[in-house]
Amino acid sequence: MSFETDAEMVALTRGFRTCTLPKEKWTHAAHWAGALCLLSEDRDAAYRDMPGMIRAFNESVGGRNTDSEGYHETITIASLRAAEHALDTAPEGTPLHDVLAGLVAGPCGKPDWILTYWSRDCVFSVKARREWVEPDLRPLPF
């Protein structure tokens, strides 16, 4: 799914927030779109509220939030940091959908981008799912 306008990103984020977004629309790019929208509204609130939103959305589409599936704290925080960095480094006035296009065109556009910084064993541990765990391969560049 690509986003041609900021309005498309806002509509997706509204559906995510209200748990009315169809599961198949919650793609890798959609995760980034939601993160960018939430961060652009209120950065502190994005970090505070995203975990609950993800848990609620997962359950609304039949998912579960357990020690092996659903919400993942380390991936969520790392993703928010990457999205925040994309916002901070974009030229002032860049439309949000262009920030998103740049983000998904880079390394973060790959679903396994997280494995550049964390080993599979570390990032998929119960501890990393429940709480922030620092990268064990290389520090995040943002």
pLDDT averaged per 10 residues in sequence order, the chain, 142 residues: 92 98 96 98 97 97 96 98 98 97 96 97 98 98 92
> Is 55 inside a domain boundary?
yes
Query: Is pTM, for the whole model, over 0.85?
Result: yes
Q: Which domain holds residue 74?
A: 6-130
Domain count within the chain: 1
Euclidean distance between CA atoms 98 and 90, whole angstroms: 9
| Tokens encoding 60 | 């609304």
Q: How far is CA 90 from the centre of its chain?
A: 18
Cβ neighbours for 45, distance < 8 A, ≥ 6 positions apart: 38
The structure tokens listed for 94 are 């860049």
Residues 6+ apart with CB under 8 A from 41: none
